Structure 1
Amino acid sequence: MNLKKTIEKIIGRTLFSEEGIQKASILEQEKRLNIKIPSVLKELYSTAGNNTLFSDGFHHLAEITELFIKDNKLVFLQENQSVLHWAVDLADSKTVYQTTDQSFDKDVEWYSEELHVDQFIETIIYLQCVMSDESFHNKAKSGFRYFASLDISEYHNNKKSKNFIDNLHNDFRQIVNGNGLSIYWNPETILLYFLDKENQISDMILTCTKNEDVFDSLIDEYGFWEL
């Protein structure tokens, strides 16, 4: 996966060099920690580590100087409510773990994610876009201007809405389906929803789009609400 191309595809523009962290700074932190940062995570820092849409739009990507190791795992991401932390296993550089433990001075209980680190980072990139507010998008010049949600009851009770969601593959590419999340993308719109243990939609459906006509259609035809 080329993460830089993925991000540029999402926001529809070329990333500026200042949106990434200088390689010398990354190398300095690798020396501090005496590790090699997994390649996809290093690419995220070097291309968009200073772009707040992707570093802080929803979850918090640790600043390069905040990275730390626990149980041979590199802790790099904090959930938006500070309940969860995620880390990548340094033994294989592929497995992502999460924990709800708040104190890393004590023993920590880790749970592995379904997605390997490349898929996980890609998922986070799209999640940050949909869950961010307009101020992050404006600062990042992402092109996304319109945000909406569909209530789960509308999905179940409105045949037109349900048909639209159940056939997203007609107009979107599915980015991920699993690990509790389903994400769809096309050049103008990202749409996501969370999944329950049976892999069914568990909560409201969220979307952001660059196209006002698409936004109006979501509102007028499919029962979405403006956010």
Structure 2
Amino acid sequence: MFVIMHYLQIIRKLYNLPEDANQGYSETEIAALENRLKIQLPAALRQYYLTIGKNRMVNDSFNRLTSLGEIGFSEDDHLVFYEENQAVVLWGIEKADLGLPDPPVYGTYDSARKEWFTDADTTEHFLLSMAWWNGALGGLTYTAFTDLEEDLTPERIALVTANWQEQTGISNQLLRFFTNDYEDILVFTTEQNGQVNGIYIGTNREEKYNTIMSTLQMEWSYRIDRDE
């Protein structure tokens, strides 16, 4: 179950960000965007850009938050503000939903065909899921992943589910997130049938990383301490 805590606090805790650090865009920069597009950003997205919109480790270590200079509408009226690392997937908010404070976020593999899927029920959940996923994929200091058959046995997967709490209701993508205290993140990638096909982990704290390694005892396809 998702623990009630503001999503920006969760991101700050995982990335060990100071509460008073200025890592966002200015009100003037956001107002210029809103004037250019003749819109007002939803409160959740506006707050994110203001608070940590310029932090590259959170927003550009794998998938990428669109800069204010690039953000714009697709041909079918979705405000596109996030893109997959190879621009295969785009994410946006329907123009009709911009008046909502925390609207749903949709993704598309081909915006020209106007086929969008619901990625997250709220903007806050989407931004949190991206911060977690980016962290496990290199945004955090200590990372590892495995897609090895010997690591993905039911017994090994059960070690994760028994020792870390699943954070449900965050994303409709084929990702499952686990953490106990938001100081680390473990992510399952899955098939459509729910079968786990990869495990990714990330933390900024060496002691947390060592605990994950000693608890799971996996071979790992990659781990940062072997790469150094």
Instruction: Label 1:47 to 1:165 Cα distance change in 2 as closer, same or farther (>3 A).
Output: same
After superposition, the Cα gap between the structure-2 partners of 1:184 and 1:152, relative to the gap in structure 1 and judged at 3 Å, is: same
One-letter amino acid matched to 1:219: M
How far 1:152 sits from its partner (Å)? 4.6
Letter in 1 for 2:72: F
- Find the aligned partners of 1:150 and 1:96 in 2 and give their Cα distance: 29
Which of 198, 205, 215 lines up with 2:209 in the alignment?
215
Q: In structure 2, what is the equivalent of residue 84 of structure 1? A: 89
Which of 143, 147, 151 lines up with 2:147 in the alignment? 151
Q: Which runs of 5+ in 2 are unaligned?
A: none
Name the residue aligned to 1:194. 189
1:204 is aligned to 198
What residue ranges of structure 1 are gaps of 5+ in the alignment? 138-143
Q: Helix, strand or coil: the match of 1:147?
A: strand
> 2:84 is matched by which residue type in structure 1?
E
User: 1:162 and 1:86, CA in 2 relative to 1: closer, same or farther beyond 3 A?
Assistant: closer
Of the candidates 99, 113, 118, which is equivalent to residue 108 of structure 2?
99
Stretch of structure 1 that moved more, 206-215 or 18-27: 206-215
Aligned-partner residue type, residue 200 of structure 1:
Q
Q: Per the alignment, do residues 109 and 42 of structure 1 end up closer, same or farther by CA in structure 2, a change over 3 Å counting?
A: same
- In structure 2, do the counterparts of structure 1 residues 188 and 119 end up closer, same or farther at CA, with 3 Å as the change threshold? closer
Per-residue CA shift, 1:130-177, capped at 9, x if unaligned? 112xxxx5xxxxxx4321123351344473x23312324xx3352536
Greater share of helix residues, 1 or 2? 1
Matches within 5 A, 1:44-193: 44-70=48-74, 71-93=76-98, 94-101=103-110, 107-116=112-121, 117-132=123-138, 137=139, 144-157=140-153, 159=155, 161-168=156-163, 171-172=164-165, 174=167, 176=170, 178-185=172-179, 186-193=181-188
Would the alpha carbon gap of residues 38 and 110 (structure 1) be closer, same or farther in structure 2, given more than 3 Å must change?
farther
Structure 1 CA distance, aligned partners of 2:73 and 2:154?
A: 48
Amino acid in the other structure paired with 1:111 = W
Q: For the aligned residues, what is the CA RMSD? A: 2.4
- CA gap 1:33/1:205 in 2 versus in 1, 3 angstroms: same
Q: Which of structures 1 and 2 has the larger relative contact order (alpha carbons within 8 angstroms, sep 6+)?
A: 2
The DSSP-based 3-state class of the residue aligned with 1:76 is: strand
**One-letter identity of the residue aligned with 1:147:** T
1:65-111 deviation per Cα after TM superposition (whole angstroms, max 9, x unaligned): 1111122210111110111111111212423222223xx7xx44222
Q: In 2, Cα distance between the equivalents of 1:41 and 1:152?
A: 37
- Quick one: which amino acid aligns to residue 206 of structure 2? E
Partners of 2:206 and 2:92 in 1: CA distance: 38
**CA distance in 2: counterparts of 1:151 and 1:192, whole angstroms:** 12
Judge conservation of contact 1:146–1:211 (CA < 8 Å) in 2.
Answer: yes
Q: Which amino acid aligns with 1:181?
A: L
Residues 174 and 184 in structure 1, CA contact (< 8 A), matched pair in contact too: yes
Are residues 50 and 214 of structure 1, via their aligned partners in 2, closer, same or farther at CA, if it must alter by over 3 Å? closer
